A and B are shown apart, each in its own frame.
Chain A
Amino acid sequence: MSEVNVKNSAKQGKHSPLEQTKIRFRLIIVIPVITTLLVLGVGWYMIELSTRELLIKSTPETVMQYRASVQTTIEHSTIAVVVGGIFSLAIGIVMAYAITAPIRKLTDDTTSIARGDLSRTIHLSGDGEIAMLGSAFNNMLSSINQYLLQTMSGGVVTINDRGEITSISADAEVILGFNARDMIGRDIKDMIPYNRDNRKFHKVISETLEQRQTFSSQEMTITTDRREAIPISISTSFLRDHDNTLIGLIVSFEDVKHLRKIQEQMRIVDRLTMLGGLAAGIAHQVRNPLCSIRGLAQLLKENSETESLLTEYSNVILSDVDRIDRVVDRLLKFIQPSSSSWSFESLNEIVDDTILLSKHEIRKKEIELQIDYDDDLPMILCQRENLMQAIMNIVVNAFQAIDIQGRVSIRTRKSIGETEDSFGEICLEISDNGGGIAPEDMDRIFDPSFTTKEDGSGFGLAITKQTVEIHGGNIDFFSENGDGSTFTIWLPIKKQRNGEA
């Protein structure tokens, strides 16, 4: 995982406490000085004006007469100016505080956010511009939080350089079994106790912090107060600020079971992409030579005497060519599933037709077929032929799982659970009481190269899974070795444009 630089918010954090004090100091000096100077200036001007007026308008007699009172006026004015100056100095100081306090709070908050504490919000009272700025800042912060935590797959916990938890994503809450609100601000060891079970976890954290070394996909189990031995994979990355100073760690969790499933799917997709590239070639590369082999084998057969060895050999060649061709056909169908048209169909009818087509499999066996349809099923949007093929693969497997005598039951049901584009799901269950699936095979049965049949291609269930997924559905199975297996397909009941199903 790459390092994360918190660039924008870090700008706020660039002001050191010393610089903040400087700013405040300047304001406290500048505002009182300006107000005092203003009052003093106005006062001085007033005194000047009044004395000048008196001097101009007065005669020597009046000067003598008013001298005393002029003196008193000047004295009073001077006192008033000085007192006014002191008042304005006090008002200036108060104003400076009033302006700097919320700014200072904002700076403090943004600094700690820049340090990685994304759970912090800014509280500024009042409804002035500064309070508005604070609420805008909070909005931005919550978007960043949402974005950060949602874009990271799996759970994410961020901690600062002191090992205190600064945020926990919703997934991490689920994986670890904790509520984010209870844990933020607390030490990581409160959540994941420092004990033998969690030694590996704490080793990863401390090595990341102390040796500046990140880890990726470290598989381990961790135990918290809420959940025991959680299988997870952990990656760490650095949270740095604008100056590249380490301000914390991002610890991302992956539920290993879930991760394995994703890896498995990616592996299948990779393989399919590769096969897709070969697909075009396969048809030509294989079918052209097969065509001449078939042609020649047919000639051989026609020109040899009936019941001779040559006829026998030719028949083997012919039937094997056909077998190869069937494999090629299935392979191509799997790689390039036909994009047959979508229509609204009754699942019960599709299952009926499928059973009819698969019945040849039960000729020599005594199979009791139990069919239990839900007659109130809505129509489903599907590719009829492809869906039939998908169901047939399971039905045929069920028939083949039974040696001589047994039971296959097929049932359909509707499960409610309306979503934005579906009215819930239809569930199709096909179970047999045959030999079941061996535990070691369970992970691979949908793998296109896996087969237990001597002449199988392995594509059957892979095609089924692919088709079900194309229909927006799911497939799962349940099997206890030796005691049959049950395959369940869920298909969404998609909403039609006019709102009917």
Chain B
Amino acid sequence: MMSEFTLGKMLMPMASKFFAKKRILIIGSDTKAITILSSRLVHTGFQVQIANETGEIYRLLKGKPPQLILLDSSMKELDSFDLLMKLRSEKRFRSIPIFILACESEIENIDKALNLGANNYIVKPFDPIDIMEKIKKAVGKK
């Protein structure tokens, strides 16, 4: 297992001063993949919040809306489609980009997510560089 320190060291050169601290909320189970992604985001200059418990999720959502939400659909206790629907029904979250990270690659799932208002549907295992590009693009547009 790689320690935070080593990870940080590896990512340091990638940190960029050009990005203002934009806040990204990652909702999902505390998996290694999420940790790696969030480290990459942090070292690229984003502010990252991870919420993996229902209570925590709602607490974070009540505060100031983030610039982008990454919604990991592999949470056992929470249906990501339900959450997506709830978010889109609230005015504050209507225009915030939401990316779904999922293990299911079926077209039905992708269609459902996009119809419910997701801006992107990314199937795991994703390419970190690719996802970073997509995030930068989505946040940059705002």
Contact = CB atoms under 8 A, between A and B. Distances in A.
B82 interface: no
B107 to A, nearest CB: 5
A183 to B, nearest CB: 56
Contacts of B127: 294, 298
Contacts, number: 68
Interface residues of A, number: 26
Contacts of A385: 107
A290 B32 CA distance: 10
A340 B105 contact: no
Given A287-B125, A290-B125, A302 B105 contact: no
A283 B103 contact: yes
Given A299-B7, A299-B10, A321-B125, A292 B32 contact: yes
B85 interface: no
Interface string A329-344: 1001100101110000
B4 to A, nearest CB: 13
A283 B103 CA distance: 5
A340 B125 contact: no
A339 B129 CA distance: 32
Interface string B17-58: 000000000000001110111001000000000000000000
Contact of B128 (A298, A325, A336, A340): A298
Interface string B101-128: 0011111100000000000000111111
A303 interface: yes
B106 A294 contact: no
Main secondary structure of the interface of A (DSSP, over half): helix
Contact of A293 (B7, B13, B104, B125): B125
A291 interface: yes
A296 interface: yes
Nearest to B11: A299
A497 interface: no
A289 B1 CA distance: 13
A288 interface: yes
A297 to B, nearest CB: 9
Please provide the 10 A-B residue pairs with the shortest distance between their CB atoms, ordered closest to farther. Answer: A291-B33, A292-B32, A295-B36, A291-B125, A290-B125, A283-B103, A287-B103, A291-B124, A294-B125, A292-B33
Given A288-B124, A294-B125, A296-B36, 5 more contacts: A284-B103, A291-B31, A298-B127, A299-B40, A385-B107
